[in-house]
Amino acid sequence: MRFVITSVNYADYLAVTLPAWKAILPKSALCVATSHGDAESRRVTADHDVQCYITDAWTRKDPTSHEGGEPTFNLALGLDETLGLIDGGPVPAPIAGEIVGHASADCVPFGTWPDDAVFDDRTVYAFWRYECLTPKALAEHQTGIRPIAKFPRLKNTNGAPIGYCQIFRAKPGRRFGSWPTAGKFDTQFTKTFPRSEMLLDVYLLHLGPINVRENWAGRVVPQWGAA
């Protein structure tokens, strides 16, 4: 299994969410992907003794891609490289059928990771996310004061897995691609599967405001707790 948390200039969020991911995933499966310029995300990752992959893929265009112009935040290519989905890329490819996935650094998980038997080769999976705007609200949920029913569930395009979290089984040729921004790659990737499913074993609290389109070209949201 391989699971990547993307954190490009999101160290303040990563410091909150990474311990929770460590608690539900095998250490050998977990990796944080960041950029050469993001020293803080690298520091947080090292503090938690988690693998870190550093790449400039976020601002590169895959020469085999015909999608758009020069990238401002090529999340798709960064994920492909980190997860080993590029044929002949710098990271060894996963075994065919291996479970791979990713999540954004601003999502904190709660629950128990599903059994491997849950995941089939024809389906892309994810967990629902709920809006959590403040550290106080997060602390209230962690201590049981505020149940998940008190947090608004955020919408997904067509109710299917989108860019904050996607999980699937690897197979040759299955990759995210190369896109000029973090927009649209996720919904196009989901369409390549015959099925999609939102699992209930885990749920995510999305920390901070939802500025979806504004963040497609790189982070613009305020510091966690400053909103």
pLDDT digits (tens, 9 = 90+) for 131-151: 999 999 999 999 999 999 999
Please, what is the average pLDDT of the chain?
Answer: 93
Q: Is residue 221 part of a domain?
A: no
Q: Is residue 226 part of a domain?
A: no
3 state DSSP class of 1: coil
Beta-bridged to residue 124, according to DSSP, are 196
Residue percentage of the chain with pLDDT more than 90: 84
pLDDT at residue number 31: 98
Q: Is residue 227 part of a domain?
A: no
Q: Is residue 9 part of a domain?
A: yes
Is the pLDDT confidence value at 217 over 80? no
Average pLDDT of span 11-19: 98
Average pLDDT of span 92-111: 97
How many Cβ atoms from other residues are within 10 Å of residue 41's Cβ? 28
pLDDT classification of 64: cutoffs 50, 70, 90 = confident
Q: Is residue 220 part of a domain?
A: no
Say how far apart CA 3 and CA 216 lie, in whole Å: 21
Say how far apart CA 120 and CA 184 lie, in whole Å: 24
Find, among 126, 139, 118, 120, the residue nearest to 204 by Cα: 126
Q: Is residue 8 part of a domain?
A: yes
Angle between helices 11-24 and 39-47 (to 10 degrees): 30
pLDDT at residue number 66: 61
Amino acid at site 162: I
pLDDT at residue number 84: 97
Is the pLDDT confidence value at 213 over 60? no
Is the pLDDT confidence value at 212 over 60? no
Is the pLDDT confidence value at 192 over 90? yes
Q: Is residue 169 part of a domain?
A: yes
pLDDT at residue number 12: 96
Residue-number span of the structural domain to which 98 is assigned: 2-215
Q: How many domains does the chain have?
A: 1
pLDDT at residue number 62: 84
Q: Dihedral of CA 153/155/158/160: which sign?
A: negative
CATH number at residue 85: 3.90.550.10
pLDDT classification of 68: cutoffs 50, 70, 90 = low
Q: Is residue 182 part of a domain?
A: yes
Q: What is the pTM of this model?
A: 0.94
pLDDT at residue number 148: 98
Is the pLDDT confidence value at 185 over 90? yes
Is the pLDDT confidence value at 160 over 70? yes
